[in-house]
Each structure stands twice: as structure tokens, then as C-alpha cells.
Amino acid sequence: MEPSTTIQKMMANNRIVVPAYQRAYSWETPTDTSGRSTQTDVFLSDLEDYRASNTRSPYYFGHFLFEEAGQLFRVIDGQQRLTTLTLFLAALFTRLKSLRELTDPEHICFEDMIRRRSEIRFNTVDYDNQLFVDYVIDQSKTDHHGLETASAQRIVRAFDYFKAQLRDKSEDYLTEMLAIVCQAVCTTHPVRDESEAIQMFIFQNNRGKRPSNLEVVKAQFMYTVHLHGHDGDHKAQLIAEIKGRFENIYKSISAIEYRINEDDVLLYTLRVDFNSLWESNTLEKIGKMLAGNEPIEFIQSFTRSLSASFLHLSDFFGKHEKEHFQIHSLVTLSGIAITLPFIIKAYRYALPITDIGALCSAFEGLIVRHRLIGTRADITARINGVYEAFTTKDSSITPIVEHINWLKNTDKSWWAYWNTEKLEEALQGEINHATAKHLLWKYEIHLERRGQRGYMPKRFDTIQSPELEHIAPRNEPTGMPHGYDEYDETFTSEYLNCLGNYLLLSKSHNCAVGNIVFARKLATYTHNAQQREIATFVTNMQIWGKDAIQLRHDKIIEALMTEL
């Protein structure tokens, strides 16, 4: 590869691959409802802005760093741009071929940048590559079934997006955009020494847009092994071990990244390995360990722990969340970072899934209380002791659960921020909508399981686009009678925004009822137990007012006090 070249020349007669220990495709694509800019539409709009500019200088596509092995180039930096470029070109060629046959220069460009016979120019990570070939390159797969990783879903979304954007474009637009991309200039730096490639990655990304902490740590680990590992087979085995563990890590990330941030898992692993919830600066701590007397031993130990953490959380957020309601309930709550070091420890100590479920239930109540009460008191300071005592020597969740229950009931001043008295007081006022939805879901479960043995609780994700409905609308409906109390100062300040006036329903249902009169709204409340229950609170006058709201509010709180 030439240091300064064009995109077409860079890809021609070379095979570029993303190593398995590198990140999979992570660029986002706009959706019909998001309305925000993402990397893929910025990619396209930049090309279109260049096309409209009529400038004579070629489009610059950036710098690429490769590890060279003959005609095979492993991309160290730039794989996101290369993946997106290939997705865009595949969509462009598909549209152009639907209009006419390719010209000779266009066919050469296709062979140089997409494939020549069986040789594909660019390959993504192994676990996504077959989907990449089938859906994008060959287009033999047209459905969205079997997309096992988040990165595979991103590949499909981006390719579909580009096809949709190019569907109605003219032949002139397509040929001009193809010329822009093929003639775009870039700079490359291929190296044969892996340690040099890693060192350059660290140097570049500390001076531009920073990669994730996980990527920095991976590069630091591999570079440290190159510097301090024994020569020969031992060093090669260490490098292979690190690559293998990061391959497993990225596979786990692809499965659960919509649930959790990878750098958070890195931090949780640090808190587990050093047995303290106070660990906070990941890069600083790891830097100190690498500068210590036994960096290689630390790297081996920590990568093993890190890989295990990702695997355990993949089970927790995946298979186990689907199979165990207590886990599902905690995950649905979100904002559960304080619990995850405990969860990782529980998996690491091979505790029964029933224990993990009980741990989830205990923490769910504490987190809800903390969110409702709104205190600035630090939970970490009040649970770090039981966390540090939670070790393989005594791997029982009982002291943790007992401590959390004690926090819920104690009246000792330094500890009593989340007790039952404070909870009941917090439930009286206005509640954050996300938290209110969770509480009303728990109330729905309470209503449905009364008197039923072996009842299977309703999962939150069975509710289609759950939203919070104000039974008495926030804005008074026009015309009288509308079936609601007079919108006086007391009604609007104390009753409109409380649990008694909130109702859990689907988005489509919420849109349908809006500000209609109460009698018509009540007739639609048939889809779950709390909706059907509304009729029991109203008077013969069919008025939804202060009395009805207060009755329902008190009943919901009574139920929640037993749940939380």
C-alpha cells in the first residue's frame, strides 16, 4: 500500500479484514422516529455536501492503520469507515445495476472494492462476516431473521438505509457519487510489527477522538506483552490468549451492548477484582498495575476476569433475564449499576440462580426507594461493607439481603434514608414518569395474582410501548360536562400528577384517548386489571375527581408498600 493513495487503489488486489479481537460494527443508523443525526447519515450527507460543492480537490477519506501480512491487511484503525464504505458501495452498485449494465470502469471499480469472483475485498469480524457476505455482498439473504448480535443488526440497518436513500436517485447522481468515492484520497500506514501497530493506535487515539477505555486497555495489554513478555513461543501464546479473550469479550458485547456500556463492565470487573465499590478511575488503576513488578501476571489474571464478567452479564441480561422474573424485574427498572458488581460476584462464585434472583429483588426495592425519596445520601458508603465481606470464603447472599432489609426499616439517623416511613412519604407526591410506569406495572402484577396460585407475573415487555396516561388529562377538556372535577388550584397541584391519576397503557391506547370526556375514556379501559378497576372508584355520577383519585392512590400505595 502507498502512504498516500485513493480508496480504490488501497482496496484493489488486497484483502482487508477486521481481526476477531477488534470491535465489531458500531456505527448507528437513523430510524423513522429518532430524528437525530447518526454516523451513517453524516457519512452520506458529507459525500452529498462534497458533490454539491463543485470543488476540484478530491474528497479525503481519512487515515488507516493496518498490520500487513503479504496481501492480507488487518485493519487496526479505520474499520468503522471501511465497513460503512463497503455497505454504501454495495447499495450503490445494486441501484446502478437495476438501471443498466455497469460500464467497464464501473465493473473494475466493483472488482477492486467489493469482490472479484470469489475474493471479497473487505471482511468484518468472523462472527458477523457470513451475515455481511449473505446480506450485503451476495444479497442472497433478504430477511431479518437470525441477527444474533447488535453489530449484525447495525450492518443490516445501515445497508437498508443506504438502499432506501439511493432507491430513487438518478443515474447521474449514482455515477457522480461512485466517482467521488473511488477517487477519494486517504493515507495509510501498514506495519509488519504488531507491537508497532498497537503503539501507533495508542498514540493516534490519545490525540484525536478517544476510543473506549476497553479499547485503550486492550492495546496497552498487548503492547506491554510485546515489551515485557518472554521471547519466542511464550510471547506468542500470551498474545494469542489476549486476542482470544477479547474476541470472546466482543462477542458478548455484540449480544448485550444495548443493555450496558462496555466501559462500565470494565469498571465493575475492577471493583470485583480489587473487592471495593470505591474503585472509580479504571485507566489510572490499570496503568499503576502495568507499571508494577508483575505486569504480565496482572494482564493474564485481569483479562480472564474481564472475559468472565462479560460472559456472566451476557447470561444475566440474555438467557436468565428471559427465564427468571426477578432478574427481568430488576433489569426493567434500569439504572442498576450499583448492583452489577454483586451480580458478577454471585456468578463468579457459582451461586444458584435462585440466589441471584433474590439478590435482584432486594436491590430492586432499595433502588426504587432511592429514586423516589431523592436523597443525596450515598448508597455505596452504606453497602460497601457487605460487598467486601461477600467473598468465596463466605459466598452467601444472606448478609447482603439482611442488610438491605435493615436499611429499609432502621430509624438510625445515618442509615435511615430509605426506610418505610420515608418511602410512604415519597409516594404521596409527584413521581418521575419512568419510575411511575415501573410502579404501576408492579401494581398490575399485584392485582392479577390475587387469589391465584401458580400465577405467572406479566412481563413488562409484553406491554406494547407502555406509556403513562393521566386519567384526568393535564389540560382540562373543552366543554361541559367532561366527567372530571373542576380544575381548581387544589386539583391541578395535588391530584393531577400522582399515582392515583396515573394509568399504565400502550402508546396506541394513550394516543386514542387523549383529552376525551371521562365516560368515553372509561369505556376503553378493558385491557388489563388496573384499567378495569377504574370503574370501581367512581361514583354514580361517573365523575373522576379528587375522591376517586385519592381512593385509588391509597390502594396503590398500600400494595406497593408490601412490594418494595
Q: Please report, as a single letter, which amino acid is at residue 21.
A: Y
What are the grid coordinates assigned to 90, written together? 454495495
Angle of helix 171-183 relative to helix 39-53, nearest 10 degrees, comes to: 100
Cell triple for residue 525? 379501559
SS3 category, 191: strand
DSSP 77: E
For residue 206, the model assigns a pLDDT of 46
pTM: 0.79
Secondary structure element (H or E) that encloses residue 414, with its range: none
pLDDT value, residue 205: 52
From the first residue on, what is the mean pLDDT of each consecutive set of 10 residues in the chain (564 residues)? 87 88 86 76 93 88 86 87 96 95 94 90 91 95 87 94 95 95 90 69 52 86 80 79 86 81 94 96 94 92 95 94 96 94 96 96 95 90 96 89 95 92 90 92 89 75 88 85 89 92 90 85 90 87 88 94 87
Distance (Å, whole) CA 321 – CA 308? 18
Helix (H, G, I), strand (E, B) or coil at 274: coil
CB contact at 8 A, 214 and 272: no
Sequence length of the chain is: 564
Cis peptide bond N-terminal to 481, omega within 30: yes
pLDDT of residue 207: 40
| Alpha-carbon span 480 to 64, nearest angstrom | 69
Confidence (pLDDT) at 243: 84
Residues 6+ apart with CB under 8 A from 551: 500, 537
Q: Would you state the pLDDT for residue 208?
A: 39
Closest CA to 529 of 465, 464, 461, 442: 442
Q: What are the φ and ψ backbone dihedral angles of 60, each rounded to 5 degrees?
A: -100, 125
